[in-house]
Amino acid sequence: MQEKYSPLDIEQAAQSYWNATASFRADDHSTQPKYYCLSMFPYPSGKLHMGHVRNYTIGDVLARWHKMRGFNVLQPMGWDAFGLPAENAAIAHGVPPAVWTKDNIAHMKQQLQSLGLGVDWDRELATCQPDYYRWNQWLFLRMLEKGTAYKKTQVVNWDPVDQTVLANEQVIEGRGWRTGALVEKREIPGYYLAITKYAEELLTSLDSLPGWPERVRAMQANWIGKSVGVRFAFPYDQEGQRELLWVYTTRADTIMGVTFCAVAAEHPLATLAAQNNPALAAFIDECKHGSVMEADMATMEKKGMATGLFVEHPLTGERLPVWVANYVLMSYGEGAVMAVPAHDERDMVFAEKYGLPVKQIELASIATIAAELKAKGLGDVQVQYRLRDWGISRQRYWGCPIPIIHCEQCGSVPVPDDQLPVVLPEDCVPDGSGNPLAKRADFLVCPCPTCGKPARRETDTMDTFVDSSWYYARYCAPDAQTMVDHRTDHWMPVDQYVGGIEHAILHLLYSRFWTKVMRDMGLVHYDEPFTHLLTQGMVLKDGSKMSKSKGNGVDPQALIEQYGADTARFFIIFAAPPDQSLDWSDAGVEGAYRFLKRLWALGATLPKNGEGSSSLRREIHGLLKQANYDLGRLQFNTVASAAMKMLNALEKSPSDAHASEGFSILLRLLSPITPHICHVLWREMGYGDDILHAPWPEPLEEALVQDEIELVLQINGKTRGNVRVASSADKASIEATALASEMAQKFMEDRPVKKIIVVPNRLVNIVV
C-alpha cells in the first residue's frame, strides 16, 4: 500500500471500479425496498459551480448511505437543456444553441463524474432530446382535449429586451428577471394550463407532505393564496337595460361604507366609458404600460379617472360613481372592487387624492350581508385563489415546439399523435431579432392535418418549466415507448429530493400539478411526486453568495485537481448542516485535506492485532451512535466531526485490540462522504472487496456499557478523591476497594471504621 495519500490515483481507481462493476445501476426488479434519491438536474450552463457540488454531494451522501443499508437506490442525473442562455450564447458567439448545449453537457458530465457520484448514468436524459420532449407535446395535446390546456389572449408581462413574455415571478420589482428591463403589458394569444382547477388540491395536499420544510409549504400555500369572500353586483342602467357590475370582496362587513367603485383599466366598463372620452382612453392606455404584479400595485402611486358612469348600492340603493383605478388588477377576482376608504388603505389614499367621500360605519356581519345579497339574487359567498393559470407560450426558439398547426380555414389544429414529435430544427442561430423559427420555411410551412392545404406551424415554444415538471418520472423508464410505464409507479414518488430554495414555489408547484394531471389520466398512481424535500443552503464567500459575476467564485474543477474530490466533498459536508448556508474557507479545505492524509497514513500503518482496554471501543461506538442518529436527521456536518473524533481516538491507540474494528467502522461511516479513499483503504486493508456491500455499522450495546465506574470517595462526609470499581461490583467489594485506597489510608488516620455508606454509581462515604 502506498504510504503517501495520492487522491488522483485513488479516485481514478475507485471510479474505474464503480464503472466496471456498474455499482450504481438501479435494479427495476429488486426485492429490496426502493429509495429514489434525486437532486435537481442542472442547467448546462458551461461548467459546474460550487452550488452544484454542494447539491450533488448532499444527494450522493444520502444515496450511498441508503445503498449500504440495503436499499435498492435510484440516483439519476440529467440536463435541463432548453432555455434562454443558449440563445444568448448563440447571439454572442454565433454558435447554434444545440451545439453550445451539447458541448456544455459533455464537459459538465465529465466534471460531475470526477466528483465520484453514485449515479446511474444509463438513465441520463436531456430535455432537448426529441424522445423526451415528444411527451411534453403528447401530454399537452391530451390536456387540450380535456380543456386542461387552452388558448386565450391575455395581458402579459412583456420584456422588451428579450422580446418575450415573462411569468409573474420572472418580474422582479417591475423589471425582467434576466434583462432588468422595465416590463410592459401586451395582449397576445398563448396557451395556458389550467393549474387553477387543481388549486384546492394543491393547497390541501400540502398537509400530506410532512417531509417538506415548513417554510416551503407555507410559500406554496401563500402562492396559491386562497381567500374566502363574497362576489356580488352593483346594478346600473345602460340605455334602459339593467346591467350588473360584479366585484369581489373579503370584507363584505364593510359594505355600508362603500363610497365608489373602481375598475381595472382593461375592464369592459372602462372600455365602454372611454369610447367617447379621449382623456379616459389615454389614461387607460397609460395604465396598460404598468406592471401587472401585485407587489408593485401595493407600492406604486395610486392613479385614477372617473368614468362618468354610476352604479347603485345593492343594499341601500345609493348612487355611487365608477372610477378607473390603476391599483385594480384585471386578473384577480372580478377586475373591479367596492371601495371603502374608511377601512381600506388603498381606497383611502385614492379617495383623499381625488376628493371622494369617506364614510364611517359600524361593521356588519359577513354572513348576514352574504345572505341578504343572495336573497336579492345579487351575490354569494365565493372562494378565490391568487394562483393564475400557467401561461406556457414563449416566443423563443430554444424550447419544445408547441404541437399546433394554424390553418386559414380550420383554425388552430393539434398535430396528430402519429406526427409527434414536432422536432425543433437544431441548426438555427438566433441573432436577437425575434424567433428564428418564423424564418425557417422548412419548419414553418406544413400541410394542415385537417384539410391538407398549406398551413403554418406554431413557432412559440413551451416554458422550460414544462420540461422540468416530469423529468423525474421519465428517469424511472427512460427508454419507454410511452410517456412513462409501470417502472414509474415502482420508483415514484421520489423519496428524497434535494435542491435550491429558489425552486420552492414554481418548479415544485408545477411538478405537483403535472403529477396530478398525469394521475387523473391514469398514467401514474401517486398523488405527490416528492415525499421528502431538502432545500440546501447557499455557498457563501466572505458573507455574500458565491458567484462568477461577483468575482468570488471558487472553481470546483481547480479544487478537485488540487486536492481531489474527497477533500471537496468532506469540506462541503463538514462546513455546515445541509440546509444552512455554508461559508467558504480555504483553511477549511486545507483542514479537510489534512484529515484525509491522516486517515490514509493511519490506514497504511495500522497493526492487525494488538491489545488494550475497551475504552477505545466504547468511544468509537459512542461516536457511531451519535453519527447514525445525525444521519437520520440529515445533520451530516456532525457525522463528519464524529469521524474526525474517531480518527483522533484511533491515532492515540493504534495498537489497541479494537483499533482494527474501529477503523473499519470509521471507513464505513465516512464512505458516503469521501467514497474514494474509503473504497481503496477498505480493499487495501483487507476488510473486503467492496465497501458498498459491507453492512452499515451499528453501535453495539455491549461496547457502550461502561465496565468501570468512578465513585466519589468521602471520609466523614468530606470529599477526598475518587475510586474506580467494576460497574458490576457489589457493596462488599466497593467497600473493600474504598478502604484499600491510598486516600482512605491517608485520611482515616488509623481510626476504626464506624460505618460505610455506598450510594450506587455516585459515592462511598467512610465514617470513622
Looking at the Cβ atoms of 64 and 343, the one nearer to ligand ANZ is 343
Looking at the Cβ atoms of 304 and 333, the one nearer to ligand ANZ is 333
Rule CB under 5 A: is residue 450 a binding residue for Zn ion? yes
Rule CB under 5 A: is residue 445 a binding residue for Zn ion? no
Q: Which does 458 bind (CB under 5 to 8 A by kind): Zn ion, ligand ANZ, none?
A: none
Looking at the Cβ atoms of 113 and 412, the one nearer to Zn ion is 412
Q: Where does this chain touch ligand ANZ (CB under 6 A) — which range of 158-166, 250-258, 310-318, 620-628?
A: 250-258
Looking at the Cβ atoms of 139 and 340, the one nearer to ligand ANZ is 340
| Cα gap 71→66, rounded to integer Å | 5
Q: Which does 409 bind (CB under 5 to 8 A by kind): Zn ion, ligand ANZ, none?
A: Zn ion
Q: Which does 391 bind (CB under 5 to 8 A by kind): ligand ANZ, Zn ion, none?
A: none
| Cα gap 587→575, rounded to integer Å | 11
Residue linked to cell 437520520: 632
Enter the C-alpha cell of residue 480: 419507454
| Cα gap 325→159, rounded to integer Å | 24
Looking at the Cβ atoms of 135 and 248, the one nearer to ligand ANZ is 248
Q: Which does 350 bind (CB under 5 to 8 A by kind): Zn ion, ligand ANZ, none?
A: none
Task: Give least dist CB 342 to ligand ANZ, A.
Answer: 8
| Cα gap 36→73, rounded to integer Å | 6
Residue selected from 250, 557, 585, 638 as contacting ligand ANZ according to rule CB under 6 A: 250
Residue selected from 227, 271, 635, 638 as contacting ligand ANZ according to rule CB under 6 A: 227
Q: Where does this chain touch Zn ion (CB under 5 A) — which range of 181-189, 332-340, 448-456, 604-612?
A: 448-456
| Cα gap 253→273, rounded to integer Å | 30
Looking at the Cβ atoms of 410 and 420, the one nearer to Zn ion is 410
Of 612, 637, 181, the residue nearest 170 (C-alpha)? 181
DSSP-derived letter for residue 378 is S
Enter the C-alpha cell of residue 147: 380543456
Nearby residues of 410 by Cβ (< 8 Å), 6 or more positions away = 448, 450, 451, 455
Nearby residues of 351 by Cβ (< 8 Å), 6 or more positions away = 259, 260, 339, 341, 357, 358
Distances from the Cα of 189 to the Cαs of 150, 412, 458, 479, in angstroms?
10, 12, 11, 35
Residue selected from 106, 367, 423, 451 as contacting Zn ion according to rule CB under 5 A: 451
Rule CB under 6 A: is residue 343 a binding residue for ligand ANZ? yes
Task: Give least dist CB 333 to ligand ANZ, A.
Answer: 3
Residue linked to cell 447539491: 55
Q: How many other C-beta atoms lie within 10 A of the C-beta of residue 282?
A: 11
The pattern of x and - marking residues 322 through 341 that bind ligand ANZ according to CB under 6 A reads ------xx--xx-x-xx-x-
Residue linked to cell 391599483: 327
Looking at the Cβ atoms of 104 and 254, the one nearer to ligand ANZ is 254
| Cα gap 19→441, rounded to integer Å | 46
| Cα gap 204→211, rounded to integer Å | 15
The pattern of x and - marking residues 390 through 429 that bind Zn ion according to CB under 5 A reads -----------------x-xx-------------------
Task: Give least dist CB 422 to Zn ion, A.
Answer: 17
Buried b (16+ CB within 10 A) or exposed e, 76-86: bbbbbbbbbbb
Q: Which does 448 bind (CB under 5 to 8 A by kind): ligand ANZ, Zn ion, none?
A: Zn ion
Looking at the Cβ atoms of 307 and 765, the one nearer to ligand ANZ is 307
Q: What is the distance of C-alpha 542 from the center of its chain? A: 25
Rule CB under 6 A: is residue 356 a binding residue for ligand ANZ? no
Q: How many other C-beta atoms lie within 10 A of the C-beta of residue 675?
A: 27
Looking at the Cβ atoms of 417 and 742, the one nearer to Zn ion is 417
Distances from the Cα of 345 to the Cαs of 29, 295, 356, 641, in angstroms?
62, 15, 14, 54
**Is the peptide bond prior to 449 cis by the omega test (within 30 degrees of 0)?**
no
Task: Give least dist CB 435 to Zn ion, A.
Answer: 23
Contact 369, 230 (CB under 8 A): yes
Q: Which does 340 bind (CB under 5 to 8 A by kind): Zn ion, ligand ANZ, none?
A: ligand ANZ
Enter the C-alpha cell of residue 466: 414544462
Q: Where does this chain touch Zn ion (CB under 5 A) — which range of 6-14, 272-280, 357-365, 449-457?
A: 449-457
DSSP for 414-448 reads: EPPGGG---PPPS-----SSS-GGGG-HHHHEEE-
Q: Which does 271 bind (CB under 5 to 8 A by kind): ligand ANZ, Zn ion, none?
A: none
**Bridge-partner residues for 182, per DSSP?**
175
Rule CB under 6 A: is residue 254 a binding residue for ligand ANZ? yes
Q: How many CA atoms, within 13 angstroms, populate the side-chain half-sphere of residue 284?
A: 23
Residue selected from 199, 287, 369, 448 as contacting Zn ion according to rule CB under 5 A: 448
**Is the peptide bond prior to 752 cis by the omega test (within 30 degrees of 0)?**
no
Task: Give least dist CB 518 to Zn ion, A.
Answer: 31
Contact 322, 311 (CB under 8 A): yes
User: End-to-end CA distance of the chain, in Å?
Assistant: 63
Rule CB under 6 A: is residue 81 a binding residue for ligand ANZ? no
Q: Which does 407 bind (CB under 5 to 8 A by kind): ligand ANZ, Zn ion, none?
A: Zn ion
Looking at the Cβ atoms of 448 and 649, the one nearer to Zn ion is 448
The pattern of x and - marking residues 580 through 609 that bind Zn ion according to CB under 5 A reads ------------------------------
| Cα gap 233→249, rounded to integer Å | 11
Q: Which does 382 bind (CB under 5 to 8 A by kind): ligand ANZ, Zn ion, none?
A: none
Contact 457, 401 (CB under 8 A): yes
Q: Where does this chain touch Zn ion (CB under 5 A) — which range of 331-339, 447-455, 532-540, 679-687?
A: 447-455
Q: Which does 254 bind (CB under 5 to 8 A by kind): ligand ANZ, Zn ion, none?
A: ligand ANZ
Looking at the Cβ atoms of 96 and 333, the one nearer to ligand ANZ is 333
Rule CB under 5 A: is residue 32 a binding residue for Zn ion? no
Q: Where does this chain touch Zn ion (CB under 5 A) — which range of 213-221, 451-459, 474-482, 500-508?
A: 451-459
The pattern of x and - marking residues 676 through 705 that bind Zn ion according to CB under 5 A reads ------------------------------
Q: How many other C-beta atoms lie within 10 A of the C-beta of residue 384?
A: 19
Residue selected from 344, 389, 495, 630 as contacting ligand ANZ according to rule CB under 6 A: 344
Residue nearest to ligand ANZ (CB): 343
Of 432, 503, 433, the residue nearest 468 (C-alpha)? 503
Looking at the Cβ atoms of 333 and 699, the one nearer to ligand ANZ is 333
Task: Give least dist CB 337 to ligand ANZ, A.
Answer: 4
Q: What is the CA radius of gyration of the chain?
A: 35
Residue selected from 151, 251, 597, 683 as contacting ligand ANZ according to rule CB under 6 A: 251
How many residues of this chain bind ligand ANZ (CB under 6 A)? Answer: 17
Enter the C-alpha cell of residue 706: 461502561
| Cα gap 280→287, rounded to integer Å | 11
Chain residues 379-438 in contact with ligand ANZ, contact rule CB under 6 A: 384
How many residues of this chain bind Zn ion (CB under 5 A)? Answer: 6
Residue linked to cell 445533520: 635
**What sections of 318-463 are H helices per DSSP?**
345-354, 366-375, 441-444
Rule CB under 6 A: is residue 291 a binding residue for ligand ANZ? no
Contact 617, 662 (CB under 8 A): yes
Task: Give least dist CB 403 to Zn ion, A.
Answer: 15
Where do contacts with Zn ion occur on this chain (CB under 5 A)? 407, 409-410, 448, 450-451
Where on the chain is the footprint of ligand ANZ (CB under 6 A)?
Answer: 227, 248-251, 254, 328-329, 332-333, 335, 337-338, 340, 343-344, 384
